[in-house]
Amino acid sequence: MNFQQNVSLKKYNTFGIDVIAQKFCAFSSVAMLEECLSISNPALILGGGSNILFTQNVQGLVLHNTIKGIQLVAEDEDYYYIKAAAGENWHQFVLHCIANEYAGIENLSLIPGNVGASPMQNIGAYGVEIKDVFHQLEAFHINDKVIIQFNASDCEFGYRESIFKSKYRNQFIILNVTYKLRKQPVYAVSYGAIEQELQKMQVQQLSIKAISAAVIAIRSSKLPNPNDIGNAGSFFKNPVVTTQLYETIKAKHANVVAYAAGNAHYKLAAGWLIEQAGWKGYRAGDAGCHAQQALVLVNYGTASGNQILALSETIIQDVYNKFGVLLQREVNIM
């Protein structure tokens, strides 16, 4: 067991915030997890650290999930069922599926983080969400010390939400996820700039590999690499508003970016709102709003978590004052 005390978490979070974990234990198997839990129940379960903003040191035990493994566990006439361990890097898992012609998650290329976070956050991009390809997962109940299986309905998926962020928050540790991936691709290219990028790449025959390449090109052009500039990707959720509020905004801003969200609602692009409010490219010390994508808050070097949090609060208030839209954070605050 790799048990340590007073460990810096700077390299374990993509914002690069330097806070201290009072106790730290990495585990690569269920047996090691049980041994770690014999010390104490965890204050935090840490995977890729790609969706968290630390604002203070962590008092108690931080568990770091490094369980690895990818396997084809079943198939039928239409689908492959691929089980991936929670500690696998998400993008590398996507590339593995593309190489083996398992279709369905190519639109989710280059999303930072690990497999275990994918159902917890119901990650999504370019018209695809995890709920669309999810089959089941196994999770370890921290108090009862048992492994429980969850199907899609059990997870109660919502927009960047699941039961593991609400009712079962801090009660389970996700061990592995099984995805239901297509043998015959159903291409999703109408969302965002994928079609334009494919044309730019002069793609003659559509494939999951081509779509992945297009998504990677788009994300690379807009989003900062966490290895170069600390960030957690999209900091805010795209807000869903009533048709009445959407029409009010559209009357003043004809170029508002929005998508019909059903039941007399529209989903607005949070990045557009933030940019229109004048925050794109803003910087105060080492805390800033990225110059290429206003949805991304960044740490240019030595910003504290509290400085980035304060910036997010100011942006939320300003957007609300200007548009009447209350933004919600996608990133978890610790």
Residues annotated catalytic, as ranges:
160, 234, 330
Kindly report the backbone phi and psi dihedral angles of residue 236, in degrees, each rounded to the nearest multiple of 5, phi listed first. Answer: -120, 150
Report helix, strand or coil for 120: helix
CA–CA separation, 161 and 305 (whole Å):
23
Kindly report the backbone phi and psi dihedral angles of residue 213, in degrees, each rounded to the nearest multiple of 5, phi listed first. Answer: -60, -40
Q: Is residue 177 within a helix (H) or strand (E), and if so which, with residue range? A: strand 172-182
Residue 153 burial class via C-beta count within 10 angstroms: exposed 0-12, middle 13-18, buried 19 and up: exposed
* Residue located via tokens 């290219």: 189
Report helix, strand or coil for 199: helix
Q: Which is it for the CA torsion 310, 313, 317, 323, positive or negative?
A: positive
Q: Reduced to 3 DSSP states, what percent helix, strand and coil does the chain have, rounded to the nearest 5?
A: 30, 30, 40
Is the distance from CB of 113 to CB of 90 less than 8 angstroms?
yes
Copy the structure tokens of residue 120.
């917890």
Q: Which is it for the CA torsion 283, 285, 288, 291, positive or negative?
A: positive
CA–CA separation, 188 and 190 (whole Å):
6
Kindly report the backbone phi and psi dihedral angles of residue 294, in degrees, each rounded to the nearest multiple of 5, phi listed first. Answer: -65, -15
Distance of CA 61 to the CA centre of its chain: 23
Copy the structure tokens of residue 34.
């049980």
